[in-house]
A and B are shown apart, each in its own frame.
Chain A
Amino acid sequence: MEDLDFAVRYPFSSQAKAALDSSATQLNESIMFMGSERIKRGLKGESGKSAALHESDKINEIASFAAARMLLAFLNNRFITNKFAVAESKRVSSYLDSERDGATIAKVGQELGFVSEKEGDSYLVPIPIYLSFSPRALPYKLINREVRNGRVVVSPHERVRLMEEAVRKRLERVPLLKDPPKIISDAGKKLVSELPKSDLPQVQVKPGDYPPCIIKLLDSVKKHENLNHQARWFLCVYLMATGMNDEEIIGLYSNLPDFSERITTYQVQHARKKAYTAPACATITTWGFCCADCRIGSPIYWRGKGSGGRG
């Protein structure tokens, strides 16, 4: 693959940085505009592929990624950053899925600190790397994986999923930008003024007394970190039991970087209709959400210390 095409697809790579350096591209209003649009697409959960044909378009597109990162650094808003990280990581993932050349995928892996070794139809991933980049979902739990001498066996699809996670994690980290150039601060202020208020949710949870596992999940929501399916379901049925209505719960979930109103609404209403009860502590431990030793059997029995002892 041409280096420039590689850089367009994987704009976080050192190749992309080199392409920008050698083209001597300067930040200008048009590139800042493209960067802002890229962030807006991320907020909508869109992760379209590149349509750039000419070399100059390709360079501009790579520059738009760099511009978007600088804008995110200026905005210093975790929600927008994480939405952008999710959208861009899905974009990378769809490119990786279509790569036919194993060497290209390996090169992307190298950029991300992700190494794997081919064995038959599978890949072997060193455990520390696997743990750093595996989604926190039951099928990916280390204990349920084939583990061999310090390495985890994964399918080609799972390998791409791990790399997607690696991209997301990398893009969630944005360096602090002190004294930004005027062109960035101007574009940043303009971007914020253009965002509909509903795109920037505020966490609103009824003040109450929650068990440690729920507090931890709520903290993740407040930090706009993604939760896996079990975590969302658990939090949802728990909050329903405390008397929160559907709208409030959906509003809370709009903080999650991969929030989809349609899917969330369906699932919250479904949980309400089925009148699920909150899972027992044993299940929560199995799912990996237990973070204290309350010995209450089920989180619904939590009575905080403030209201006279636990259990």
Chain B
Amino acid sequence: MGFQLPVAGSEVALAWFRRYYENAEFDIPSIEQREFGIGNRKKIDSRHLNFSGTAEFRSYLVSNTPLFVSFSTGYYRYPGATPMQKKAWMGADLVFDLDIHAEGKYGAYALLGKVKADAIRLMDMLKDDFGISGKDIHVNFSGNRGYHIHVRDRSYLGIGSDERKEIVDYIMGIGLDYRAFFEPDAKRPNDRMERGPRPDECGYRGRFSRAVIAELVNNPKSISRVFAKDDTRKRLIDGIKAGNWNSQPFKVNDFISRLAPIAAKLGLSSVNTDAGVTQDLSKLIRVPESLHGDTGLIAKKVSDIDKFDPFRDAMIKLPGARESLKVKFVEDVPELPLGGELVGPFKKDEQKEFEKPIALFYVLKGSAEIKE
């Protein structure tokens, strides 16, 4: 958190958070084996907490309401023990943190759609390539700039940090050698390819093949002007479908090089690797259905991601949410789609009245202060 919340704002926000936690619906598998951390000044001020069940967790949140609450992706025999080695690690969910960075405090919100598209692609990869069942993939909004994906497939729980790094590389497309997808013809290696990837193949081979066909259909000139002609293009596409990439006029190396930009876009760019969420076996991450202290939005579990709109679906809906609160802006704020409608823009020193969740959103962002 980049600023210190003014006392008045903090009191109103925490009272509001407390009311939310009284009835929030938590569903944390093996809660008694998880470590928890809470934060007010930072996202995590203190960790090594543990709870015997949801009731104890809730009662803690109601009596010591924090701005942030996180839990371990790892499962421990003694989650409250310190130092870490004494916790006796038993395994960890495979977790991905997808988010986006952009200019300014509000820049990332306009790009949330891209993060959502990546989340959908990641879920497809987890199912198709990694063989993980949909029921073991849990998605939640992070409460601010992205999505968290928790994979709870038993066969992945025990893998180490290095192995998780390989999975991140796979998902991000790092180290992809797409040239190896093509087998040169033994007799005429410069002119012909024995075999290339088919669109119906699994993993990156199929993904690459499908992306090339899509490019040929949507933007053929980006590969070469010759594919602007319908019959030339069609002949190549039909060939690729059968693994034959020879229906084009170029030398093998030249043609393969022309496909490099397509290969470079196959991975997901919004997997956040800075914080090592996936690799770190003792990482703490926001509790799904808890509140994000920088926004007051719920880290909402997402059941139908296509229809999910964070600024509508992750807003607190409590009796009293309609009560209005007066704020004064301390900086300029752009227009935002809050609560299902466009709100703003606002200028510094402007005073406005909003329903509570929206008012607190601006206060927690540090863009406004509460007017008594």
Please tell me if the beta carbons of B177 and A150 are within 8 angstroms of each other in the complex: no
CB distance from A212 to the nearest CB of B (A): 12
Q: Report the minimal beta-carbon distance from B167 to chain A, rounded to whole angstroms.
A: 7
Report chain A residues within 8 Å CB of B176: 143-144
> Is A192's CB within 8 Å of the partner chain B?
no
With A287-B175, A288-B169 as contacts: A146 and B203 at CB distance below 8 Å: yes
Question: CB distance A144 to B175 under 8 Å?
Answer: yes
Q: Are A150 and B204 in contact (CB under 8 A)?
A: no
A142 touches B202 (CB 8 A): no
* Residue contact A142 to B205, C-beta cutoff 8 Å: no
Partner of A141, one of B129, B156, B169: B169
Chain A residues closer than 8 Å to B130, beta-carbon distance? 127, 147, 150
3 closest cross-chain pairs (CB), A and B: A150-B131, A147-B203, A131-B163
* A107 in the interface (beta carbon within 8 A): no
- The complex places the Cα of A149 from the Cα of B156 at a distance, in Å, of 14
Q: Which chain B residues border A310 with CB–CB below 8 Å?
A: none
- Complex CA gap A141/B204 in Å reads 12
New contact pairs (20) apart from A143-B173, A146-B201, A148-B203, CB-CB < 8 Å: A128-B156, A128-B163, A131-B163, A141-B169, A142-B166, A142-B170, A144-B176, A144-B177, A144-B204, A146-B202, A146-B203, A146-B205, A147-B129, A147-B202, A150-B129, A150-B130, A150-B131, A150-B132, A288-B169, A288-B175
Interface flag for B55 (CB, 8 Å): no
Interface extent on B, as a size class? 20 to 34
Complex Cα distance, B274 from A147, in Å, reads 27
A136 to B160, CA, bound (A): 14
A288 to B174, CA, bound (A): 8
> Is B165 touching A288 in the complex (CB atoms < 8 A)?
yes
Q: Please provide the chain A residues from 142 to 174 with a CB less than 8 Å away from any CB of chain B in the complex.
A: 142-151
Size bracket of the A interface: 20 to 34
On chain B, the residues within 8 Å of A150 by CB distance are 129-132
A144 to B166 alpha-carbon distance, docked (Å): 11
Taken residue by residue from 50 to 77, chain B's Cβ proximity to chain A (1 for < 8 Å, 0 otherwise) reads as 0000000000000000000000000000
Contact A126 B155 (CB under 8 A): yes
Q: How far is the CB of A162 from chain B (nearest CB, A)?
A: 13
Residue A242 CB within 8 A of the other chain = no
Verify if B239 is at the interface (C-beta below 8 Å from A). no
User: What separation, in Å, do the CA atoms of A252 and B213 have in the docked complex?
Assistant: 50
In the assembled complex, B162 has its CB within 8 A of some CB on chain A: yes
Distance between Cα atoms of A204 and B19 in the complex (Å): 60
Q: Are B175 and A143 in contact (CB under 8 A)?
A: yes
Are B155 and A145 in contact, CB atoms less than 8 angstroms apart?
no
B166 to chain A, nearest CB (A): 5
The reply to whether the CB of B226 lies closer than 8 angstroms to some CB of chain A is no
- Residues of the A chain whose Cβ atoms lie less than 8 Å from the Cβ of B160: 132
Q: Which residues of B contact A127 (CB under 8 A)?
A: 130-131
Question: Is B167 in contact with A131, judged by CB distance below 8 angstroms?
Answer: yes
| Cross-chain contact A142 with B131 (CB below 8 angstroms) | no
Residue among A143, A147, A293 having the largest count of chain B Cβ atoms under 10 Å:
A143
